[in-house]
Chain A
Amino acid sequence: MSSLLLHPGLLLIFGGLVIGVLRGHGRSMAILLLPIAALWLIWAAPDPSAGPVLQFLDYSLRPLAPDNLSRLFATIFAVMAFGGGLFALNQASRLEMPAAFVYAGSAIGVAMAGDLVTVFVFWELMAIGSTLVLWSGGAYRASFRYLMVHLFGGVLLMAGIAGHVATTGSVEFVRMGLDTPWHWLMLAGFLINAGAPPLSAWLPDAYPEASWSGTVFLSAFTTKTAVYVLLRGFPGNEILIYIGVFMIFYGIIYALLENDMRRILAYSIVNQVGFMVTGAGIGTEMAINGAAAHAFTHIIYKALLLMSAGSVLFMTGKRKCTDLGGLFQSMPITCICGIIGALAISSFPFTSGFVSKSMISQAAADQHLLWIWLALAAASAGVFLHAGIKFPWFVFFQKDSGLRPPDPPANMRMAMILFSFLCIAIGIWPEPLYGLLPYATDYVPYTASHVVTQLQLLLFSGLAFFVMLEYLKRTLTISLDVDWTYRVLAPAVWRGLEHGYLSMMRVISEATARWLNGTTGFVKRHHGPEGLLARNWTTGGTALWMMILLLVYLLAHLV
């Protein structure tokens, strides 16, 4: 029980709450030291069988039962909390950092959990932490939409877990097949957080609306914990391959059409997570290693790209490519770090993306999945196109926007330089990362053939970018996505129904009134003071009618 006090996730969560009340140097120290302490606890945590056991109802919960995959993800989450914390030290919002630490701690909590109940609890905490990060940036409506989608995902997950526990009697988080409706529900809950269709739009809708530092935190945890639970719970389910490939191309197409620099990067998160989901779907040891390694490197270079974009936003207050350009002249460090991140996301040789993404392609080739392999190769070219060149080109080069902001403050520069260093260090020296992977691997990324192949693919994609530059010109547009259905269509349908209901009620009440008028008129006409049946009759008239009646009676009698 006491060993629960040494839970790295709880350390960050409660540490985050303490950060909320600290000020000055104490606050900065806590922000930088807590993730390091968490990192230490992750590696000091006991083996899965030796962890603490909590009794909840009739079930034994294992909140601290990390295997290799858990440690890999928890490690990168702690590294991210450190880098993001360093970058956001000068963030004026007092809510964002505590929320980000609760968010990061919950993500670590999901990764370290050995049972589904603990996963669910931290899963929901993550939704709250991330919503507060968004909220603290002032994006109230976007954070509300974000929360709705994630609470919906949480309900699906909860239902799935409840059904799974009821049918199997076990809360242990093990590998599952898609054999029961409960497992489908859990998969759906996981996939919503991964940014998979049909609800993928929550990600580009919400993340770019956070503050300049908030997006850096947001990019790391939600989608990658989803990748983690897919790798642990549902590896080798073929449907994930197709979902992943869809996400890859969806991300590229939308990013190509986008004008907002952080929305470009948000779509490219979906694209990159698509590679990992594809890896989870292939499900071989090589594929799972590749997806896990790619999640690790992705968190670093995506955070780096968003730090670079965040620095531009922080210094210029502008976020549209049409307003930016030429910033390389006055922001050299931001520009160079952004380019390093862009090269890493494109899997350029000697960057971290090269040593991780290629394992997923290799897994597809090993399984002789020709079409998947071709799709991944085309997508790799597309990544260079939409993120690798497009982001640095339109932000830092392109035209001269006339903006001459200097590089951002020292802590932001240091965070970018640290993550740039990691991108290159992992690219040149991948063995330590390979040593952390869930399965032993003898994969060798650096063969002459692989390097030249990858360089040809990327550099000719670069040629395509500049050849087609005229068609890539940024316009003041956005592209409609699935969020249109709940931002425009559903309200319109609701208003339509409301209008229809009101008109129907009006028609009914008018008809009723008409009918009532008609009925009362009829009654009045016949029974009113002047009515045929109620007015006074003359004596002669009455005698005539009496005679007619008697005649009719006589005739009837005779017949």
Chain B
Amino acid sequence: MGHWLTRESTIRQLWRWSLACLALLVVIGGFIEPHPHFGIDAIFAFPAWYGFLACIALIVIAKAIGLFIKRPDTYYPAEQERDRE
């Protein structure tokens, strides 16, 4: 059966509650008096969609750069044995 946190049903519940929390947070954000410093951060739920899109963009950029700079982790000869054993 495994640990309760590893069960399928628990994970489904976690997703459900997490998404509900996100929605609630956006709703609460609509009621709080904003303190925008610029024009762009006055747009509705700016931090939510900006954070989400920024992360997607970072992952895509990292993957793209990774195409050029990734190597097998045996690329350099092993530095030390003591800690890796």
Cβ-based interface call for A319 (8 A): yes
A139:B54 contact, CB within 8 angstroms: no
Interface hub of B55, B58, B59, B79 (most chain A Cβ within 10 A): B55
- With A and B bound together, what is the CA distance between A462 and B25 in angstroms? 14
Please, what's the 1-or-0 string for A450-483, where 1 marks a CB less than 8 Å from any CB in chain B?
1011111111111111011001100111111100
Please tell me the size bucket of the interface on A. 35 or more
- Contact among A209, A381, A463 with B80 in the assembled complex (CB-CB below 8 Å): A209
Please, what's the 1-or-0 string for B45-85, where 1 marks a CB less than 8 Å from any CB in chain A?
10111111011111101110110011111011001111111
Q: How many residues of B contact A (CB 8 A)?
A: 51
Give the contacts of B1-42 with A (CB-CB under 8 A). 2-3, 5-6, 18-19, 21-22, 25-26, 28-29, 32-35, 37-38, 40
Cβ-based interface call for A5 (8 A): no
Q: Which residues of chain A are within 8 angstroms of B65 by Cβ–Cβ distance? A: 253, 257
B62:A256 contact, CB within 8 angstroms: yes
B83:A313 contact, CB within 8 angstroms: yes
- Contact among A249, A454, A464 with B47 in the assembled complex (CB-CB below 8 Å): A454
Q: How many A-B residue pairs have CB under 8 A?
A: 168
Cβ-based interface call for A137 (8 A): yes
- Contact among A141, A212, A256, A320 with B83 in the assembled complex (CB-CB below 8 Å): A212
B2:A253 contact, CB within 8 angstroms: no
Q: Which residues of chain B are within 8 angstroms of A433 by Cβ–Cβ distance? A: none
B29:A452 contact, CB within 8 angstroms: yes
- With A and B bound together, what is the CA distance between A460 and B19 in angstroms? 10
Q: Which residues of chain B are within 8 angstroms of A377 by Cβ–Cβ distance? A: 47, 50-51, 54
B3:A253 contact, CB within 8 angstroms: no
Give the contacts of A468-504 with B (CB-CB under 8 A). 468, 471-472, 475-481, 487
Q: Which residues of chain A are within 8 angstroms of B62 by Cβ–Cβ distance? A: 252-253, 256-257
A464:B82 contact, CB within 8 angstroms: no
B80:A385 contact, CB within 8 angstroms: no
Q: Which residues of chain B are within 8 angstroms of A478 by Cβ–Cβ distance? A: 70-73, 75-76
Q: Which residues of chain A are within 8 angstroms of B80 by Cβ–Cβ distance? A: 137-140, 142, 209
B5:A328 contact, CB within 8 angstroms: yes
A449:B32 contact, CB within 8 angstroms: yes
- With A and B bound together, what is the CA distance between A212 and B83 in angstroms? 8
Q: Which residues of chain B are within 8 angstroms of A453 by Cβ–Cβ distance? A: 29, 47
B68 CB, nearest partner CB in chain A, Å:
8
- Given A449-B32, A459-B21, A463-B52, are A253 and B61 neighbors across the interface (CB < 8 Å)? yes
- With A and B bound together, what is the CA distance between A447 and B6 in angstroms? 37
- With A and B bound together, what is the CA distance between A207 and B84 in angstroms? 15
Cβ-based interface call for A246 (8 A): no
- With A and B bound together, what is the CA distance between A328 and B69 in angstroms? 32
A433 CB, nearest partner CB in chain B, Å:
23
B50 CB, nearest partner CB in chain A, Å:
6
Q: Which residues of chain B are within 8 angstroms of A329 by Cβ–Cβ distance? A: 3
- Contact among A140, A317, A381 with B55 in the assembled complex (CB-CB below 8 Å): A381
B84:A319 contact, CB within 8 angstroms: yes
Q: Which residues of chain A are within 8 angstroms of B26 by Cβ–Cβ distance? A: 456
Cβ-based interface call for A200 (8 A): no
A487 CB, nearest partner CB in chain B, Å:
6
- Contact among B51, B66, B73 with A460 in the assembled complex (CB-CB below 8 Å): B51
A364 CB, nearest partner CB in chain B, Å:
9
- With A and B bound together, what is the CA distance between A455 and B28 in angstroms? 11
Q: Which residues of chain A are within 8 angstroms of B33 by Cβ–Cβ distance? A: 448-449
A456:B59 contact, CB within 8 angstroms: no
Cβ-based interface call for A400 (8 A): yes
Q: Which residues of chain B are within 8 angstroms of A462 by Cβ–Cβ distance? A: 18
Please, what's the 1-or-0 string for A79-123, where 1 marks a CB less than 8 Å from any CB in chain B?
000000000000000000000000000000000000000000000
Q: Which residues of chain A are within 8 angstroms of B22 by Cβ–Cβ distance? A: 459-460, 463
- Given A452-B28, A471-B59, are A476 and B72 neighbors across the interface (CB < 8 Å)? yes
- Given A458-B51, A478-B70, are A468 and B56 neighbors across the interface (CB < 8 Å)? yes
A465:B55 contact, CB within 8 angstroms: yes
Cβ-based interface call for A178 (8 A): no
New contact pairs (16) apart from A138-B83, A366-B37, A481-B69, CB-CB < 8 Å: A140-B79, A211-B82, A253-B65, A319-B83, A370-B40, A374-B40, A378-B54, A449-B34, A457-B47, A463-B19, A463-B52, A472-B59, A476-B72, A480-B70, A480-B71, A487-B76
22 A-B pairs (CB sep. < 8 Å)? A138-B81, A139-B79, A142-B80, A209-B80, A365-B37, A373-B37, A373-B38, A378-B50, A378-B51, A385-B55, A400-B6, A452-B25, A452-B28, A452-B29, A456-B25, A456-B26, A460-B49, A467-B56, A476-B73, A477-B73, A478-B75, A480-B70
Top-9 shortest CB links A-B: A464-B55, A378-B54, A365-B37, A381-B51, A457-B47, A457-B51, A256-B62, A456-B47, A138-B82
The chain B residues found within 8 Å of chain A, CB to CB, are 2-3, 5-6, 18-19, 21-22, 25-26, 28-29, 32-35, 37-38, 40, 45, 47-52, 54-59, 61-63, 65-66, 69-73, 75-76, 79-85
